[in-house]
Amino acid sequence: MSMMGDAISHAVLPGLAVAFLVTGSRASVPMFLGAAVVGVLTALFTEWVRGLGKVDEGASMGVVFTSLFALGLLLVVQAADHVDLDPGCVLYGAIELTPLDTVTLAGREVPRVVVMLGVVFLLNLTCVLVLYKELQISSFDPALATTLGINARGLHFLLMTLVAVTAVASFETVGNILVVAMLVVPAATAFLLTRRLSVLLVLAVGFGVGSAVVGHVAALAVPAAFGYASTNTAGMMALTSGVGLLVVMVVTLLRRGQPLRD
Amino acid sequence: MLRLQDYNTRVVVLGTTLLGLAAGVVGSFTLLRKRALMGDALSHAMLPGIGLAFMISVAAGGTGKSLPVLLTGATLSGLLGLGTVLAVRHFTRLKEDTALGIVLSVYFGAGVAVLGVVQRMGEGHSAGLESFIYGKAASLVAADTAVIAVASALVIGVSALLFKEFRLLCFDAGYAATQGWPVVRLDLVMMSLVVVVTVIGLQAVGLVLIIALLIIPAAAARFWTERLRTLTWIAAGMGAASCAIGAAASALLPNLPSGAMIVLVSTGLFLLSLLGVANAARFSAGNAGARSIARSAGNMCCAPCTSGVKRRRPAGPERRRSRCPRCPSRRSWLAVRGRPASSAGNLTAPRRTGCSSGVPIKPWR
């Protein structure tokens, strides 16, 4: 399901456009709701196309998200005369501008996105902690989960909803691609090092945070080393997580002599 | 009325149609290789190459806008991305879709970082680089169309020459290897065709559109046939048709972006195929349930499972329903009237990993 984050993050465009056309404003809440609904719909449509069609999951995902993206593009262009929906902002994010947009929380000025992403983080954390056992069973063996009376299908959609919410909340700040990178790469890196889900979760969070910090520093330092100005932070974070994966891959290969196979 | 006399419209329609043709052909192979999203990953992986090519050519004293240089950069970094996918899959226990996700996001991140540097360089005019992401289908010029024509001819020619080998690779790579075919090299050739289509498509119509063209026509064609040759023809036809109609509609009506229109036309064809085939199956099978028919192509074991156990076509009362012998799903298996599964023509090649019912299948020990 690794590509689901990619699919959802492209497919939310019509949600954003419709939310804008309905409310006529770029307020966060309707945009967020529109995008989250379309995100969940993406997961649902993918399931349908895969069930009805004779194609595998990747292809059905590709059909759904490209179509939704095109629909969104069409809506945006139709409304473009008086809209300022910047595709570049969705794509790259404007992480450098976050300190400028603040809200007051408990007497202190806090960047708005920090509050928003903090809420999403708590939501995700709560869901994972509360449903840890159920998620574990249904991720490894949905059939067993179903025979034990766990609603594996419901959990699947809950998970997809969380992916959609996280992706949408992160867009504005870090952009589409860093969301995908953060959804896939740290977990993949951790996956190379352990076979236990609990360890995997902790390691993945660690790698995610680590590559964010290192990436930010690298965005300032690396281009400067070659005599250029600084570069895009989100892009550099994604690149850093990839470098982390490469290092872990090489180290595990050298130490074991062969990959950790199933 | 559509004014095909209009030179510009003619160029755009012709260019995108040829691209749709080539993408449909290549897409049918990638679809059956279960690599539909390969185009997605590769097209994103080309961005750093474009940015670096620009930087190098500016550093060498050029304007940085030379198309061959940029396309060379894109091709090289696309091939590097392809190599990374294959390496991740081969050297780790990560699955293919994770490998695609990694390449997609990391390479694109690198590309964004490089473009960030380019934009702040001050020298050189980087404004046009963005068109690689969003495409500029409506402003194709004759030279672009010529490039597309040559590349499409190349792609279709190679596909035709290696059709037999690609077919074998699509259905049973393991068997191909035991027969002494150079599987890895053939795989590389096939994926290089994807790179070629993506490079020309990226430059012409943009990132998302080329992904759509590689996937949707092939997926739609899959409803109509069980034979690869037919599938390829139908996919090519659908790709070309949706490009022609979409580009024409965009030229004809105001305020319709050509890229989005092409994708939406192909989505329309996909939905028509889905509904049409489901209906046809319902009529031919009485009230037997169109879904099950659509799923169980050929006489495999219950189609969601496709553990590869071939079942004799049961006769008499047994032919109505039975359990899948291998997977714990309760989904009943429905015997299908029709052509028995032949090893060459049957498109439901055995899948070992999954079951579309969501029930993972443990390897048989």
pLDDT in tens, B62-113: 666 677 788 888 889 989 998 898 888 888 888 888 888 899 889 988 888 8
Determine contact, residues A54/B347, Cβ cutoff 8 Å.
yes
Structure confidence at residue B344 (pLDDT): 44
Beta partners for residue B310, in sequence order: B300
Domain boundary among B279, B313, B347: B279
Q: Is B249 on the interface with A (CB under 8 A)?
A: no
In angstroms, the CA A210 to CA B95 distance is 24
Test B219 with A58 for CB contact under 8 angstroms.
no
SS3 B258: helix
For the four alpha carbons of B333, B338, B344 and B347, in that order, the dihedral sign comes to negative
Determine contact, residues B17/B41, Cβ cutoff 8 Å.
no
Structure confidence at residue B55 (pLDDT): 82
> Tens digits of per-residue pLDDT, A168-202?
777 777 777 778 888 888 988 998 888 888 888 89
A105: closest CA of chain B, how far (Å):
33
Is residue B15 in some structural domain?
yes
What is the three-state SS of chain A?
CCCHHHHHHHHCHHHHHHHHHHHCCCCHHHHHHHHHHHHHHHHHHHHHHHHHCCCCHHHHHHHHHHHHHHHHHHHHHHCHHHCCCCHHHHHHCCHHHHHHCEEEECCEEEEHHHHHHHHHHHHHHHHHHHCHHHHHHHHHCHHHHHHCCCCHHHHHHHHHHHHHHHHHHHHHHHHHHHHHHHHHHHHHHHHCCCCCHHHHHHHHHHHHHHHHHHHHHHHHHHHHHCCCCCCCHHHHHHHHHHHHHHHHHHHHHHHHCCCCCC
Domain boundary among B279, B302, B335: B279
Is residue A5 in some structural domain?
yes
Residues in chain A: 262
**High-pLDDT (> 90) share of chain A, %:** 2
- Do B22 and B161 belong together in one domain? yes
pLDDT confidence tier of residue B217, bands split at 50, 70 and 90: very high
pLDDT score of B239 more than 90: yes
Determine contact, residues A181/A9, Cβ cutoff 8 Å.
no
pLDDT score of A128 more than 80: yes
pLDDT score of B302 more than 50: no
pLDDT score of B297 more than 70: no
Is residue B365 in some structural domain?
no
pLDDT score of B264 more than 60: yes
pLDDT score of B38 more than 70: yes
- Do B238 and B291 belong together in one domain? no
Both tokens of residue B321?
A: 């329903």
**What residues in A contact B37, CB-CB < 8 Å?**
3, 58-59, 61-62
Beta partners for residue B339, in sequence order: none
Test A235 with B113 for CB contact under 8 angstroms.
yes
Is residue B313 in some structural domain?
yes
pLDDT confidence tier of residue A215, bands split at 50, 70 and 90: confident
- Do B275 and B296 belong together in one domain? no
Tell me which residue range forms the domain holding A69.
Answer: 1-85
Both tokens of residue B297?
A: 């192509």
pLDDT score of A9 more than 70: yes
Is residue B206 in some structural domain?
yes
pLDDT score of B171 more than 70: yes
Is residue A229 in some structural domain?
no
- Do B257 and B323 belong together in one domain? no
Is residue B266 in some structural domain?
yes
- Do B293 and B238 belong together in one domain? no
pLDDT score of A25 more than 80: no
Arithmetic mean of pLDDT, B103-127: 76
**What residues in A contact B355, CB-CB < 8 Å?**
none
CATH number, domain at B109? 1.10.3470.10
Domain count, chain A: 1
CA-based end-to-end distance of chain B: 65
Question: What's the whole-number average pLDDT of chain A?
Answer: 78
Arithmetic mean of pLDDT, A9-20: 81
In angstroms, the CA A213 to CA A234 distance is 11
Domain count, chain B: 2
Test B260 with A71 for CB contact under 8 angstroms.
yes
Is residue A22 in some structural domain?
yes
Question: What's the whole-number average pLDDT of chain B?
Answer: 74
- Do B223 and B301 belong together in one domain? no
Arithmetic mean of pLDDT, B266-278: 85
In angstroms, the CA A132 to CA A138 distance is 10
In angstroms, the CA B136 to CA B147 distance is 15
Tell me the range of B170-179, B210-219, B293-302 where mean pLDDT is highest: B210-219
Is residue A61 in some structural domain?
yes
Residue B134 contacts by C-beta under 8 Å, 6 or more apart in sequence? A87, B206, B207, B259
Domain boundary among B249, B279, B309: B279
Tell me which residue range forms the domain holding B312.
Answer: 287-360
Tell me the range of A254-258, B1-5, B178-182 where mean pLDDT is highest: B178-182
Is residue B2 in some structural domain?
no
- Mean pLDDT check: name the lowest of A167-171, B152-156, B281-285: B281-285
- Do B150 and B28 belong together in one domain? yes
Beta partners for residue A109, in sequence order: A104
pLDDT score of B158 more than 90: yes
Which one of B97, B105, B213 would you mutate to disrupt binding with A, by most A Cβ within 10 Å of its Cβ? B105
Is residue A180 in some structural domain?
no
- Do B192 and B52 belong together in one domain? yes
- Do B175 and B301 belong together in one domain? no
Structure confidence at residue B349 (pLDDT): 42
Structure confidence at residue A166 (pLDDT): 84
